[in-house]
Amino acid sequence: DQQVKQNSPSLSVQEGRISILNCDYTNSMFDYFLWYKKYPAEGPTFLISISSIKDKNEDGRFTVFLNKSAKHLSLHIVPSQPGDSAVYFCAASAPYNFNKFYFGSGTKLNVKP
Amino acid sequence: GAGVSQSPSNKVTEKGKDVELRCDPISGHTALYWYRQSLGQGLEFLIYFQGNSAPDKSGLPSDRFSAERTGGSVSTLTIQRTQQEDSAVYLCASSAQGGSNQPQHFGDGTRLSIL
């Protein structure tokens, strides 16, 4: 059962515009969420995280928004750059097993110059 | 090296053979994870090691899969009697202490192909 879902397999955005990547989850017990970025033939790298006590976390061009009632989070990249082109995974964990992470299937972002 | 190292980077083997995948975590990291990514899928949790504690094996898909972590450092993931559905990229990650607020550092993975 897929507890974390990324329903858009791909997204194409013009350089300088905003990229919005979405993630939905089904388990209301999830209380920590992370975004990872993955380039081809490399392992994922940590990007940004958010705890369920917050609804927003910002780090430079990257902002993650959490809507607990909708069980939805999104990653905003502003402004998008060609180097942001990669696959983005969201992940979640629950307090009863905080070492077990559930990952979405990823969204491939293409930022066009 | 500075990062998580996995070997081999690619492995092609015949159905029914055993394979062993290796992970060298970042020095000093006590937590180590194994994941599997099948084509078009997300990362699937397999197993988690934390220090000398008993590992969390809840993600291992069958008893053909096993993993060890010797001396709290290097880990090997073993798949016995491989099947075609075992074909995937196997990713290893480590973190300083484990826990959801400790970002995981991933290796580049082992791409396993079962013929």
Closest-CA distance of chain A to residue B60, Å: 12
Closest-CA distance of chain A to residue B105, Å: 7
Q: Is the pLDDT of residue B41 over 90?
A: no
Number of helices followed by number of strands (H, E) in chain B: 0, 10
Tell me the per-residue pLDDT of A26-84, one tens digit each, with 9 for 90 and over.
999 999 999 999 998 899 999 999 999 999 999 999 999 999 999 999 999 999 999 99
Chain B residues in contact with A10 (beta carbon < 8 A):
none
How many whole angstroms separate alpha carbon B104 and alpha carbon A99? 10
Specify the pLDDT at position B1.
Answer: 52
How many whole angstroms separate alpha carbon B106 and alpha carbon A13? 27
Distance of CA B109 to the CA centre of its chain: 8
A2 touches chain B (CB under 8 A): yes
Chain B residues in contact with A42 (beta carbon < 8 A):
108
Paired sense of beta strands A107-112 and A10-14, if any = parallel
- Residue B42 pLDDT level (bands cut at 50, 70, 90): confident
Closest CB from A32, A43, A99 relative to B106: A43
How many whole angstroms separate alpha carbon A87 and alpha carbon B90? 17
- Answer yes or no: do B48 and A34 touch at CB < 8 A: no
Specify the pLDDT at position A107.
Answer: 96
- Answer yes or no: do B100 and A42 touch at CB < 8 A: no
Q: How many CB pairs under 8 A join A and B?
A: 67
Chain A residues in contact with B48 (beta carbon < 8 A):
99-100
Could you give the 3-state DSSP secondary structure of residue A86?
strand
